[in-house]
Amino acid sequence: MATIKASVPKGTRDFGPIETQKRNYIYNTIKSVFRKYGYQEIQTPTMENLDTLTGKYGEEGDKLIFKILNSGDFYEKASAKKTAEGDFSSKSILPLISEKALRYDLTVPFARFVVMHQNEITFPFKRFQIQPVWRADRPQKGRYREFYQCDVDVVGSDSLLNEAEFICIYDEALSKLGLKDFSIKINNRKILTGIAELIGKPNQIVDMTVAIDKLDKIGLDGVEKELLSKGFTGADLEILKPVILLNGSNNEKLAQLKMVLKDSLNGLKGIEEIETVFSYLAGFDIKTAKVELDLTLARGLNYYTGCIFEVKTNEVAMGSIGGGGRYDDLTGMFGLKNLTGAGVSFGADRIYDVLEELNLFPKTAEESTKVLICVFGKEEEQYAIPLLAKLRSVAINAELYPFGAKLKKQMQYANDKHIPYTIVIGSDEMQSGKLTFKDMNSGEQKQATIDEIVRSLSC
Amino acid sequence: MATIKASVPKGTRDFGPIETQKRNYIYNTIKSVFRKYGYQEIQTPTMENLDTLTGKYGEEGDKLIFKILNSGDFYEKASAKKTAEGDFSSKSILPLISEKALRYDLTVPFARFVVMHQNEITFPFKRFQIQPVWRADRPQKGRYREFYQCDVDVVGSDSLLNEAEFICIYDEALSKLGLKDFSIKINNRKILTGIAELIGKPNQIVDMTVAIDKLDKIGLDGVEKELLSKGFTGADLEILKPVILLNGSNNEKLAQLKMVLKDSLNGLKGIEEIETVFSYLAGFDIKTAKVELDLTLARGLNYYTGCIFEVKTNEVAMGSIGGGGRYDDLTGMFGLKNLTGAGVSFGADRIYDVLEELNLFPKTAEESTKVLICVFGKEEEQYAIPLLAKLRSVAINAELYPFGAKLKKQMQYANDKHIPYTIVIGSDEMQSGKLTFKDMNSGEQKQATIDEIVRSLSC
């Protein structure tokens, strides 16, 4: 067999022990919060039928879907038809040689799941899902072809309690992960609709929101210039300006907005929804998050129909670390109409980078083995086995380095693996029963019996 | 957009909330044992380069690898070369339009990982990996195209302590999962080599072991008939018979075997290895497993070089639920020679079926939410929010059913979700502060304050 160079496809990553453990720490923290709020995990297959995915992500998205080749003699089966048609384009051949593709996100598989299992599901259905997705994007820093998404959604309930609880979930999960200063921005699609109605341009809502969204970057002048270039008039700008420059507390903003949107049913409905969410939040105990009404927030306008969210850390320069909102037609594409839902997601890769930069991973997130037993020879090894068994019997993660290696190498192993304690056993230790017990972080060591060591490691 | 039928590719499965939770229960139990023995988790990409996988699983295996189509205009890019060669077979076209494939097992990616990261890895490297793999097999009962493997391996240590600890890991993990009667069979490739040498047919070791392996099914007569048909002589059978019929305790078997194999260096080495493993086991505390020397055990003869294992439950008729062994050339295919290793795997899908059949899943494996608050109206909902927050603040998984649904529906929701407790709040409860607290399993209910409920749920 020829030697093959060991490499991974571009845009994909191996996760070694420490990285996997840190990632698990993030996922487990978030999962425990999801569960606390009554969300349950589901998993869907890596492969979906190609027609389940095609057409859901726009033309550009379709190109980025990884397709799986049919098994066996895929080309012989396809070529008769292909040749007959005389059309040799990839686009025409694709459906002849591929029927399956890799999951592109967790939303479409979730919709497919809900429709397929609608008779087994209890609604409101509260699910979370943490699985990898694949996109044939050009890889670059921070962008991978395989990455995890972390979604939490409820379908079949229109209560705004759900929206309020998503804010609680963000607050609790990110606080638990150690973030101390982050903002959860909230807006409502209906308010944006109301504003577009106000200036008589409901069809230009996207142009309008895209421009407003840039306020931070290009300032009011820049926003106005862009709006004018898109066909908005000076009169439109006069109406928009107070909305764009809205400031003060959330309540002050809402009060001003009610005045501005007093003639828009949509707008007033959006304001009422936000007020309801805020009234729920008053009963909960938001620990850390700054919840901010932000009218410049505009995401997924083709998709979201009610409240929309976006989460940003204020401690590190970094794009949004979460977002989501209310949608009203998740499952329509699979024939199940009028099922309302809401959901948010966590950007776990970015959260990883934030925790790394702020040094927020707890030391325990890097530990796995608690104590390593080092021995000088075969006799010591034999002596050590029941001690090893004793440590494990009280749920202490413990290893014995098999005899035959120098002590230095064994200590190096403990260091490399971030093992915080070692026990060294030589002939003196065997005779006295007093083992050499070392704290690898402080460097301190003392003589102790196995029972004393067990007690000290169990606290 | 046309309506698409909601379905999954054949041979793949959705896992709903209960199933996912039960699967997590199995994986988490096994993982906690892996960690207790010093093994650390790694994860490798779903996609590998096609040439990493091709040729590792035999010609039949290669056909079962799911290939991924190159992105973009895969056919235009390929057709020039293809047409020039005039070869239109799938086999010739494949390498032109596909460079990546789905992971077929965890062994080859692990080997690739070890070689690629050899300078970052601390040896002995003890890793476990639980990830899905894909095979384009014809789906049938119990056989899927996407399924999880659960592997634990150590490379860079030839100590037989590792083999002994794999037995401990099986014993502890399966005991923890509630299995009460299971056997861990052990054999050694070198003993099988010794036996084949004894009759002067070292090259026919596979014919020999395949026949002996059938003893249980076809009896001694059947085994002898098969051996004769493969070219073994009557004299060979006379030598083989005592080996095949070896019985008694492990020690008795080893004593007899030593006599039989006294002239085979390989055979004696294999016996010594097994004895060493047994001597380690004497120092550990094997809880439940029956560890049995079984000379008819023969698995992965092209791959394993030392001890081999197989695990069977004696409580349910079911194939092996685990197995593995020692190998000496895992990474040679990627150019890293002479790295010894040993590993075993858990058949998690089968273990799932065993636990299901024996009713061994604990009730908590189906629970997620601990208590559901049911309210009669909007006022009660408002009253309930701080109570809900209080429950969650002490780490109790709690939900509030948004107001607007009949009590019966709310109770049904609790039942469907296996929620063990409910709190009902109406106007009486709001006035008195004494909530109706119901145990959904026993049906008992009583009036209690939120503090009393918190205390009772926290125990």
DSSP letter string, A202-255: GGGHHHHHHHHTTHHHHHHHHHHHHHHHTT--HHHHHHHHHHHT--SSHHHHHH
Question: pLDDT at residue B82 above 90?
Answer: no
Nearest to B215 by CA among B298, B289, B271, B291: B298
Q: What is the mean pLDDT of chain A?
A: 93
The closest of B168, B26, B41 to A369, measured between CA atoms, is B41
**Residue pairs spanning A and B at CB distance below 8 A:** 300
Question: Using the beta-carbon criterion (under 8 Å), do B38 and A280 form an inter-chain contact?
Answer: no
- How far is B43 from chain A, CA to nearest CA, in Å? 5
Closest CA to A326 of A195, A163, A166: A163
Query: In what helix (H) or strand (E) does residue A118 lie, and over which residues does it extend?
Result: none
Arch. (CATH architecture) of B32-41+119-357: 2-Layer Sandwich (3.30)
The answer to whether B9 contacts A45, with C-beta atoms less than 8 Å apart, is yes
What pLDDT band is residue B1 in, cutting at 50, 70 and 90?
Answer: low
- Output the CA torsion B65→B71→B75→B78 (10° steps): -80
Is residue A157 within 8 Å of residue A123, measured between CB atoms?
yes
> Which ranges in B189-333 belong to alpha helices (H)?
189-198, 205-212, 215-229, 234-244, 250-260, 265-283
Does A84 score more than 60 pLDDT?
A: no
Of A110-114, A248-252, A395-399, B91-95, which gets the smallest average pLDDT? B91-95
Q: Is the four-CA dihedral B6, B12, B18, B21 of positive or negative sign?
A: negative
Question: For A368-458, which CATH superfamily applies?
Answer: Anticodon-binding domain (3.40.50.800)
Edge to edge, the sheet with strand B67-69 lists: A47-49, A98-102, A67-69, B67-69, B98-102, B47-49
A6·B392 Cβ contact <8 A: no
Closest of A125, A150, A152 to residue A343, by C-alpha: A152
Max alpha carbon distance in chain B (Å)? 94
For range B3-13, the mean pLDDT: 92
> CA nearest A169: which of A34, A345, A274, A323?
A34
Decide: A47 and B146 in contact? Cβ < 8 Å: yes
Q: In what order do the strands lie in the sheet with A341-346?
A: A40-41, A125-134, A146-155, A341-346, A322-327, A304-313, A182-188, A290-293
B88 with A74: Cβ contact below 8 A: no
Tokens at residue B36, please? 């207790």
pLDDT tens by residue, A420-444: 999 999 999 999 999 999 999 999 9
Would strands B398-400 and B67-69 be described as parallel, antiparallel, or unpaired?
unpaired
Q: Are A246 and A295 within 8 A, CB to CB? A: yes
d(CA B1, CA A332): 9
pLDDT, tens digit, for every residue of B341-364? 999 999 999 999 999 999 999 988
pLDDT score for B85? 61
What value does the mean pLDDT take over residues B222-227? 93
Question: What predicted TM-score, i.e. pTM, was given to this entire model?
Answer: 0.95
Nearest chain A Cα to B54, which residue? A4
Q: pLDDT class for A291, splitting at 50, 70, 90? A: very high
Q: Say yes or no to pLDDT of B67 above 60.
A: yes
Query: Which residues of A, range 322-361, sit inside 8 Å of B by Cβ?
Result: 333-335
**Per-residue pLDDT at A154:** 98
CB B116 to CB A17 under 8 A? no
Determine the residue of chain A that is closest to B411 in CA distance. Answer: A122
Distance between CA atoms of B72 and B60, rounded to whole angstroms?
Answer: 29
pLDDT given for residue B79 in this prediction: 66
What is the per-residue pLDDT across B115-174, written as a single tens digit (0 to 9) for each?
999 999 999 999 999 999 999 999 988 889 999 999 999 999 999 999 999 999 999 999
Identify the residue among A89, A385, A415, A425 best suited for mutation to test binding to B, counting B beta carbons within 10 A and taking the highest. Answer: A385
Give residue B2's pLDDT. Answer: 63
Rg (CA), chain B: 29
Enumerate the β-bridge partners of residue A126.
Answer: A154
Evaluate if residue B277 carries a pLDDT over 60. yes
Q: What are phi and psi of A191, to 5 degrees?
A: -65, -40
- pLDDT confidence of B420, banded at 50, 70, 90? very high
Q: Is A187 exposed, middle or buried (0-12, 13-18, 19+ CB in 10 A)?
A: buried
- For chain B, domain boundaries: 32-41+119-357, 368-458
Contact A9, B47 (CB under 8 A): yes
Which of A17, A64, A334 shows the shortest C-beta gap to B6? A334
Summarize the confidence of residues B202-223 as an average pLDDT. 90
pLDDT band at A79 (very low <50, low <70, confident <90, very high): low
Residues 6+ apart with CB under 8 A from B99: A9, B49, B50, B68, B70
Mutation test of the interface with chain A: which of B19, B23, B41, B383, choosing the one with the most A Cβ atoms within 10 A?
B41
Contact status, residue B149 vs residue A46, Cβ threshold 8 Å: no
The CB density around residue B428, as the number of other CB atoms within 10 Å, is 12
Residue type, A274: I
**Cβ <8 Å between A75 and B90:** yes
Half-sphere exposure (Cβ direction) of B348: Cα atoms closer than 13 Å: 24
User: Distances from the Cα of B370 to the Cαs of A164, A170, A371, B459, in angstroms?
Assistant: 21, 21, 35, 12
> Of residues B38 and B2, which shows the higher confidence score?
B38
pLDDT value for B96? 86
B409–chain A Cβ distance below 8 A for any pair: no
Per-residue pLDDT, averaged over A52-64, amounts to 91
In a mutagenesis test of the A interface, which of B25, B79, B276, B385 is the best target, namely the one with the most A β-carbons within 10 Å? B385
In angstroms, what CA-CA distances link B231 with B149, B227, B323? 38, 7, 30
For B61, phi then psi, to 5°, come to -60, -45
* Residues A377-393: b if buried by 16+ CB within 10 A, e if exposed: eeebbbbbbebbbbbbb
CB contact under 8 A, B159 and A46: no
Percent of chain B with pLDDT over 90: 81
- The answer to whether A8 contacts chain B (CB < 8 Å) is yes
- Average pLDDT of the segment spanning B18-35: 97
Least confident span in A19-28, A413-422, B53-62: B53-62
Judged by phi (left if over 0) then psi (alpha if -120 to 50, else beta), residue B427 lies in alpha
Could you tell me which residue, B96 or B396, shows the higher pLDDT?
Answer: B396
Helices (H) and strands (E) in chain B, counts: 18, 16
Instruction: Please list every residue in chain A whose beta carbon sits closer than 8 Å to the beta carbon of residue B69.
Output: 66-69, 94, 97-98
| Whether the predicted pLDDT of A86 surpasses 90 | no
Q: At what angle do helices A234-244 and A205-212 cross, to 10 degrees?
A: 50
Residues of B in contact with A63 (CB under 8 A): 71-72
List Cβ neighbours of A437 (8 Å cut-off, separation of 6 or more). A421, A422, A423, A445, A446, A447, A448, A452, A453, A456
pLDDT in tens, B297-341: 987 777 899 999 999 999 999 989 999 999 998 899 899 998 999
Taking residues A135-162, what's their average pLDDT? Answer: 95
